[in-house]
Amino acid sequence: MNTTLHVNIDKKTKAEAAKLADELGLDLSVIVRASLKNFLQTKTFHVEKTYHMTPYLEHLIEEINNEKDSSNWSGPFSSTKELKKHLNKVIKKK
């Protein structure tokens, strides 16, 4: 059996939270329910927004690191222009 929880909160906070929830593909009801369940289970409260690399970016970084260990490595670079040129060559190999 479900019940309703009424929470008073300022409009700005609600709008910002709704926007962030939407960015995550959720709505505020899901956020509140999950937060309350987590709070009860862990007896702690923690929130975090993190960014994760895409598999493509992880692969590209791995390839660049492998290249550093080979004779194909052009670094260290004297300018960002030089670095971009090298990265573009690595990307074009894909």
Structure token digits, residue 26: 């959720």
Rounded to whole angstroms, how far apart are CA atoms 60 and 40? 41
Token pair belonging to 41: 């289970």
**Is the whole-model pTM more than 0.95?**
no
Any idea which residue has 């290249």 for tokens?
A: 67
Count CA atoms closer than 13 A to 87's CA, side-chain side: 12
Give pLDDT tens digits along the chain (94 positions). 889 999 999 999 999 999 999 999 999 999 999 989 989 999 987 767 787 788 888 887 787 777 766 666 666 777 888 877 777 777 776 5
Q: What is the predicted pLDDT for the residue at 82?
A: 80
Q: What's the rounded Cα separation, in Å, for the pair 33 and 45?
A: 13
**Which residue ranges make up each domain of the chain?**
1-50, 55-92
Local structure of 88: helix, strand or coil = helix
